[in-house]
């Protein structure tokens, strides 16, 4: 348990830095960087390890989105998210369900994570993908200690997991789910990782691993075929960007909700110019909540596969629209909120930077905790349920269709200042990810250290469970959110409910930033303006099981 009880939550170094939500994954990434690998190599090693140690949140059978920043300051968006089966029977699903099912085979879309790994290794890595997979394969084969976060999710999801023979065979012992500190062994997953190391992504997309997944899904009523897997592609494009207080934030477009984080941040910059530095835990909390609610509404109205919807990106990021949103928020105007599926604790973020100027924010997920609650016994692979994001409303741009990518909650973030990359941010939090990112951005803009920005109390609009429909006007506030902030949120027309301290219901954040200050880890609070030489600062959220490492 020492990996979790003694893990460093912040670190600073002159050459490289990494943060992930699991201490073992962070250390694997750090070993790559110590050994001469670059930030992408390190992120891939961590990403593979996380599928072994955090199967509640990510998997070989999940999805991946990433932003890669290169030494010239360019940022590339890697969209590896998968599509629905091309032969899916939309009419039958619509007749049988009011909402997309959350569990089982029907919400399983093509898993894109492995294809994303392959693209990242080929285009920006310095080592073969097999090198990144080796530590994960050994960990799956030899066993790892169950982290507290995994143990909590196992207990919470035990009823769903117990219905699946694959899950029962891996995550249960003597009739109960594994507890924190017990050993989790996954020999079938180890063999699958070894297979991927030997054959590359083709083992999943048209090979033996994919065939096994299709066989399992077909037996549970899915229309997924081997051709669906073989036809999967990774899309590369430019990132979208806006400025907040003179600092440029970049995130994902397409079917990702990253666009709506940027939209909200741009509107908040208008409010900042009018009100001064924004305090999301004090007098400005209501304004921030109103802007975030507006952006969430636009996400639910517009976000979809761009091949199926004309997303008005230029309008949503325009100066005039940002001004309009900010004015309504500052005037206390009511925001019409859509009923929505609650968010889910489903995601891992890996952020890293190296001495050569490479930066990466890699986000991978199974959507709901443990995804579709299906584990293929032959491969050890947990299948995600990203298709649960689809709408069955025929008027929605995100309506279900064959061969379509669903609205995606994953949203990597990089930060640029003066044309130079200075930050990599990542978050877990389902539909609340833009809110977690906004809290971190506002804290950093106010002068907080990265450690303070990820650890300070926060609030989110909407709860974190999946599979329940509710009104979107409830703001969950951690216990230590000041009363002034709670009152400001309520004054803006929202209902609040109180959470405990360090509650993972407000998501997890990961940060790497280039900062100036005294070498060595600073206490929670402000970054000292002492003119010290620039260095890298990494921080991980205390609400997860992660660590920050730098050198």
Amino acid 530: pLDDT:
41
Contact, 472 vs 338, CB < 8 A? yes
Q: Look at phi and psi of residue 357 and say left if phi exceeds 0, alpha if psi is from -120 to 50, else beta.
A: left
Report pLDDT for 429: 77
pLDDT score at 111: 98
Q: What is the pLDDT of residues 287-342, one digit of tens each?
A: 999 999 999 999 989 999 999 999 999 999 999 999 999 999 999 865 554 444 44
Question: Closest by alpha carbon to 49, among 27, 16, 18?
Answer: 27
User: What was the pLDDT predicted at 387?
Assistant: 96
Cβ–Cβ under 8 Å, residues 496 and 474: yes
Q: What is the pLDDT of residue 484?
A: 97
Tell me the average pLDDT of the chain: 92
pLDDT of residue 473: 75
pLDDT of residue 257: 95
Could you count the other beta carbons within 10 Å of the beta carbon of residue 251?
Answer: 29
| Residue 527: per-residue pLDDT | 41
The CA distance from 63 to 107, in Å, is 13
DSSP annotation of 472 reads: S
Q: What are the mean pLDDT values of the chain's consecutive 10-residue runs (551 residues total)?
A: 69 96 97 98 98 97 98 96 98 95 97 98 98 98 96 96 97 96 98 98 98 98 98 98 98 96 98 97 96 92 94 96 96 58 65 97 95 98 96 95 96 96 92 93 96 96 53 83 96 93 90 74 40 85 95 95
pTM value > 0.75: yes
- Domain residue spans of the chain: 24-64+73-236+356-389
- Please tell me the predicted confidence (pLDDT) of residue 347: 85
Interhelix angle 285-302/433-445, rounded to 10 degrees, is 140
With 0-12 CB in 10 A as exposed, 13-18 as middle and 19+ as buried, what is 462? Answer: buried
pLDDT digits (tens, 9 = 90+) for 94-130: 999 999 999 999 999 999 999 999 999 999 999 999 9
């Amino acid at each position: 348990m020492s990996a979790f009880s003694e893990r460093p939550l912040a670190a600073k170094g002159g050459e490289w830095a990494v943060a992930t939500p699991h201490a073992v994954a962070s250390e694997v990434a750090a070993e790559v960087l110590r050994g001469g690998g670059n930030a992408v190599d390190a992120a891939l090693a961590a990403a593979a390890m996380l599928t072994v140690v955090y199967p509640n949140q990510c998997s070989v059978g999940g999805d991946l989105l990433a932003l890669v920043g290169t030494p010239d300051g360019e940022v590339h968006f890697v969209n590896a998210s998968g599509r629905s089966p091309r032969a899916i029977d939309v009419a039958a699903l619509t007749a049988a369900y009011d909402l997309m099912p959350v569990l089982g085979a029907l919400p399983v879309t093509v898993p894109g994570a492995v294809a994303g790994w392959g693209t990242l290794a080929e285009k920006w890595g310095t080592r073969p993908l097999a090198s990144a997979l080796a530590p994960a394969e050994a960990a799956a084969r030899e066993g790892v200690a169950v982290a507290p976060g995994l143990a909590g999710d196992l207990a919470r999801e035990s009823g769903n997991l117990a219905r699946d023979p694959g899950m029962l065979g891996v995550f249960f012992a003597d009739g109960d789910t594994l507890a924190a500190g017990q050993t989790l062994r996954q020999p079938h997953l180890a063999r699958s990782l070894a297979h991927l190391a030997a054959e590359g992504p083709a083992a999943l997309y048209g090979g033996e691993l994919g065939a096994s997944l299709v066989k399992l899904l077909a037996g549970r009523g899915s229309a997924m075929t081997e051709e669906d897997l073989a036809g999967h592609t990774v899309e590369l494009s430019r990132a979208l960007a806006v400025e907040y207080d003179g600092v440029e934030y970049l995130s994902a477009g397409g079917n990702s909700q990253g666009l709506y984080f940027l939209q909200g941040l741009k509107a908040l910059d208008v409010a900042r110019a009018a009100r001064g530095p924004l305090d999301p835990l004090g007098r400005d909390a209501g304004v921030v909540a109103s802007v975030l609610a507006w952006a969430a509404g636009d996400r639910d109205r517009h976000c979809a596969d761009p091949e199926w919807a004309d997303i008005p990106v230029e309008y949503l990021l325009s100066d005039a629209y940002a001004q309009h949103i900010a004015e309504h928020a500052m005037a206390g105007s009511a925001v019409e909120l859509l009923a929505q599926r609650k968010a889910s604790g489903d995601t891992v973020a890996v952020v890293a930077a190296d001495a050569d100027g490479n930066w990466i924010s890699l986000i991978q997920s199974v959507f709901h905790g443990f995804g579709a609650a299906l584990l293929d016994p032959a491969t050890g692979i947990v299948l995600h349920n990203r298709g649960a994001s689809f709408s069955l409303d025929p008027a929605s741009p995100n309506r279900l269709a064959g061969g379509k990518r669903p609205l995606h909650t994953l949203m990597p973030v990089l930060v640029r200042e003066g044309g130079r990359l200075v930050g990599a941010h990542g978050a877990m939090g389902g539909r609340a990810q833009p809110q977690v990112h906004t809290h971190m951005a506002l804290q950093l803009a106010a002068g907080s250290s990265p450690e303070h920005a990820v650890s300070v109390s926060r609030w989110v609009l909407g709860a974190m469970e999946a599979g329940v429909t509710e009104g979107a006007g409830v703001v969950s506030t951690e216990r230590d959110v000041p009363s002034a902030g709670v009152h400001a949120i309520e004054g803006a027309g929202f209902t609040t409910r109180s959470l405990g301290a360090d509650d993972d219901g407000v998501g997890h954040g990961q940060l790497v930033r280039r900062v100036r200050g005294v070498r060595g880890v600073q206490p929670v609070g402000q970054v000292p303006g002492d003119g010290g030489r620039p260095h890298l600062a990494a921080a991980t959220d205390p609400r997860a099981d992660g660590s920050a490492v730098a050198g």
